[in-house]
Structure 1
Amino acid sequence: MKRGGIFQRLPREQVRQGLALAGLLCLTVLAIAGPTGLLSWSEQASLLEQREARINTLTAKRDELRNRVALLDPAAADPDLVGELLRSDLNVVHPDEVVITLED
C-alpha cells in the first residue's frame, strides 16, 4: 500500500458506518433546528395564538354584521337603524328635527 496520501482506502464497512452516522447527524439537526423541529415549536405556538385571536376578532365582527343585516331586512327593518343610516349617509332629517353642528 502507498502511504503518501491523507486518504487511504477504507474498508466498505467503515464507509457504510460513516454514511449511516452522517445520515443520523442530518436527521438530528433537522429534528432540532428544522422547519418543524424543536426550536420552531415556540414560534409556531405564538403564531397559533395570534391567529386564534384574529379568528375571534373576525368572528365577533361577522356576528355584528349578521345582526345588522338582520335588522335591515326589507320585510321587517328596524326603524331606529334605518333612521340612523338615513341621517348619517344621506344627511336626511325630519322637518321637526333641529340639527346642531359642533365646530372646533
Structure 2
Amino acid sequence: MLQEQRKDATMRIISEKIKTFSRVEKAFYGSIVLSGLTLAIGIVFMQTRLLQVQAQMAHVNQEINNKQVEIDDAEQAVNELIRDSRLLEIAEKAGLTYNNDNVGVAE
C-alpha cells in the first residue's frame, strides 16, 4: 500500500512538473529523447551491418584459402611433370635421348 502511494505521488509530481514545462523545454527534451532513440537504432543497425561484413569477409578468406590450395596443388603437379627422371623415362620410351640443355620451362 505504501509503495502504491509513493508511486502515485511520484507520478503526480512528474505530471505536475511536465505541465509546468514551456513549449521550448518540451521540444528540447523531446529532441533529446528522439536523438537517443535514433542513436540506439543507428548503433543496432551498424552492429548488424558489421556482423554481415565480417561474415562475408570470412567467406572470401575461405575462398582465397581454397584457391591457394588449388594453386599449390597445380604447382606440385607441374613440378612432378617436369622432373628430370620422368622426362628421361619419356624420352627413352620414345627412343630419344634426353638432353637437359634442350629442356625449357614456360612461365
Note whether the superposition's TM-score is higher than 0.5.
Answer: no
Question: 1 or 2 for the larger relative contact order (CA 8 Å, sep ≥6)?
Answer: 2
User: Larger Cα Rg: Structure 1 or Structure 2?
Assistant: 2
